[in-house]
Amino acid sequence: MHHFYHRLNSNTVAKKWALIIFWLAFVTTCILMFIPGEPPKQTGFKHWDKIQHAIAFMLLIKLAWSAYPRKKYTAVIALVLFGAAVEVLQSTLTTTRTGTTGDWVADMVGIMIGMSVCAFMLQKNRQLKPIRR
């Protein structure tokens, strides 16, 4: 019985931390996408902005799936819509940011990569469970 309680308690703590970390990352992403900034420089690697978008949304989907494991597809839809809203708001409410469909596509690519990584990790975890017992 003690083992069951310890496991239940650690899962609850992990869930709380997953929620906290997801929402901190979400708010941080909002701030970073709306703080005044200079347009991307044309020198160097010209697609760095798209890579940043993909990385941000890849991490957000991983954190969302950890925080809301029973609402995975709701999280996907919410982040796709969030990415679209950010681009619309950047192009209408800011003067130093530009909203582009390319950035939104990069967001969705990041979500798909994150989903693939999560699915791979879940599959590997399921394969290892019988060995752990």
Q: Summarize the chain as % helix, strand, coil (round to 5).
A: 80, 0, 20
Q: Where are the domains of the chain?
A: 2-132
- Report the distance separating Cα 123 and Cα 46, nearest Å: 36
pLDDT band at residue 129, thresholds of 50, 70 and 90?
Answer: low
Q: What is the pLDDT of residue 104?
A: 95
Give the residue-averaged pLDDT of 44-52. Answer: 81
Residue 86 has pLDDT above 60, yes or no: yes
CB 111 within 8 A of CB 61: yes
**Predicted structure pTM score:** 0.79
Angle at 130 between CA 21 and CA 117, to 5 degrees: 40
Q: What is the pLDDT of residue 38?
A: 67
108 or 121: whose pLDDT is higher?
108
CB 72 within 8 A of CB 127: no
Residue 5 has pLDDT above 70, yes or no: no
